[in-house]
A and B are shown apart, each in its own frame.
Chain A
Amino acid sequence: MRAAVSRVCFRSTARRLLLAGACGLLLAGCGEGDYSNEDVDFQTSVPDGQSLAVPPIGPEPTPASPEYYGTTVSVVGKLNAVVDAVLALLDRVRVSPPSRRAPGERTWGPFPAERAPGWSARVILARQVSAAGVLSFAYRFELRPDAAPDDAWLPLLTGTAQPAGSLRRGLGDFQITTTDLRAAGFPIDDPANPDDLNDIATLSARYDSASLPRAVHLDTRNIAGVSPERAVYDFTGAAGAGGQMTFAVDGAPQSFSLTSRWTTGGAGRADLTLTSGPGAGLAAVNCWTETASASYTHYPWDETRTAGSATACAFPGP
Chain B
Amino acid sequence: MNRSARGAAARTVAVLALLTARAATTHAEPPLHRYALLLGNDHGGEDTRPLLYAVEDARRLREVLVRLGGVRAEDAPLLANASVGQFLAALDGLEERMRAEAGQSRASLLVYFSGHAKDGDLRLGGTRLSLETLRARIARSPAEVRIAIIDSCRSGALTRSKGARHAPAFAIDATRPDAARGTVFLTSSSFDEDAQESDALAGSYFSHHLVSALQGDADRSRDGRVTLAEAYDYAYARTVADTADSMAGAQHPTFSYDLKGNGDLVLTDYVSQHEGLYVPAPAPAGTYYLIDARGTVAAEVVKEPGADRRIAVRSGRYRIKRRLADRLRIGEIDIPPGALITLDEARLRDAAFADDPVKGVRPSDVRWRVGLGAGGQGFFDAPTRDSLFPPVSLFGGELAVAGFFRHDVVFALDVAAGAARATLERPSATLPFRFRELTTGASLWYERRWGDGALVTFAGARLALLLLRRAFDDATLADQSYSAFSPGLLAGTSWRFGGGLSLTARLRAHYLLYNVDENRSLGYVEAGFSGAYEF
Contact = CB atoms under 8 A, between A and B. Distances in A.
A131 interface: no
Contacts of A3: 198, 245-247
B248 interface: yes
B196 A7 contact: yes
Contacts of B426: 37, 40-41, 44
B462 to A, nearest CB: 9
A25 B487 contact: yes
Contact of B428 (A8, A13, A32, A167): A167
Given A13-B406, A41-B427, A165-B429, 19 more contacts: A2-B198, A3-B198, A4-B197, A5-B199, A6-B194, A7-B197, A21-B461, A28-B513, A33-B484, A35-B516, A37-B517, A41-B426, A44-B428, A44-B431, A45-B428, A164-B428, A165-B428, A167-B431, A168-B428
Interface stretch (B82-90, B219-227, B475-483): B475-483
Given A4-B242, A20-B444, A37-B387, A30 B247 contact: no
A168 B245 CA distance: 76
Interface stretch (A89-97, A229-237, A250-258, A295-303): A89-97
Interface string B161-204: 00000000000000000000000000000000011111111001
Nearest to A42: B428
B263 interface: no
A166 interface: yes
B197 A27 contact: no
A8 B196 CA distance: 8
B247 A6 contact: yes
A148 interface: no
Contacts of A38: 517
A167 B246 contact: no
A48 interface: yes
A33 B247 contact: no
Contacts of A1: 198, 200-201, 242, 297, 358
B481 A34 contact: yes
B431 A31 contact: no
B379 to A, nearest CB: 13
Contacts of A168: 428-429
A97 B461 CA distance: 35
Interface residues of A, number: 49
A126 to B, nearest CB: 15
B487 A4 contact: no
B512 interface: yes
Interface in A154-172: 163-168, 170
A170 B461 contact: no
Contacts of A41: 426-428
A28 B194 contact: no
Contacts of B247: 3-4, 6, 9
A13 B467 CA distance: 31
Contact of A9 (B118, B198, B248, B387): B248
Given A6-B247, A166-B429, A40 B477 contact: yes
Contacts of B196: 4-7
A44 B477 contact: yes
Interface string A39-66: 1110111001000000000000000000
Contacts of A170: 428
A95 B478 contact: yes
Nearest to B515: A31
Interface string A106-126: 000000000000000000000
B513 A163 contact: no
A48 B461 CA distance: 49
A163 B512 contact: no
B248 A2 contact: no
B133 interface: no
A36 interface: yes
23 contacts: A2-B198, A2-B200, A3-B198, A4-B196, A4-B198, A5-B199, A21-B461, A25-B487, A31-B484, A31-B514, A34-B478, A34-B480, A34-B482, A35-B482, A37-B517, A40-B431, A40-B472, A41-B426, A41-B428, A44-B428, A97-B478, A168-B428, A170-B428
Contacts of A318: none
B509 to A, nearest CB: 13
A135 interface: yes
Nearest to B205: A4
A48 B428 CA distance: 14
A24 interface: yes
Contacts of B485: 24, 27-28, 30-31
B513 A31 contact: yes
Given A94-B476, A101-B517, A28 B487 contact: yes
Contacts of A97: 478, 480
B470 to A, nearest CB: 7
A8 B484 contact: no
Contacts of A10: 49
B135 to A, nearest CB: 22
A191 interface: no
Interface in A198-224: none
B81 interface: no
B460 to A, nearest CB: 10
B243 interface: yes
B400 interface: no
B427 A165 contact: yes
A149 interface: no
Q: Top 8 A-B pairs ranked by shortest CB distance? A: A33-B482, A31-B484, A163-B428, A35-B482, A4-B196, A4-B246, A27-B485, A6-B248
Contacts of B430: 165-166
Contacts of B444: 17, 20
B393 interface: no
A317 interface: no
A30 B487 CA distance: 11
Given A4-B242, A5-B196, A37-B388, A43 B477 contact: yes
Interface in B512-535: 512-518
A25 B511 CA distance: 10
A250 to B, nearest CB: 37
B152 interface: yes
Contacts of B197: 4-5, 7
Contacts of A5: 196-199
A135 B424 CA distance: 18
Contacts of A96: 478
B468 interface: yes
B463 A27 contact: yes
A29 interface: yes
Contacts of B463: 24, 27
Nearest to A27: B485
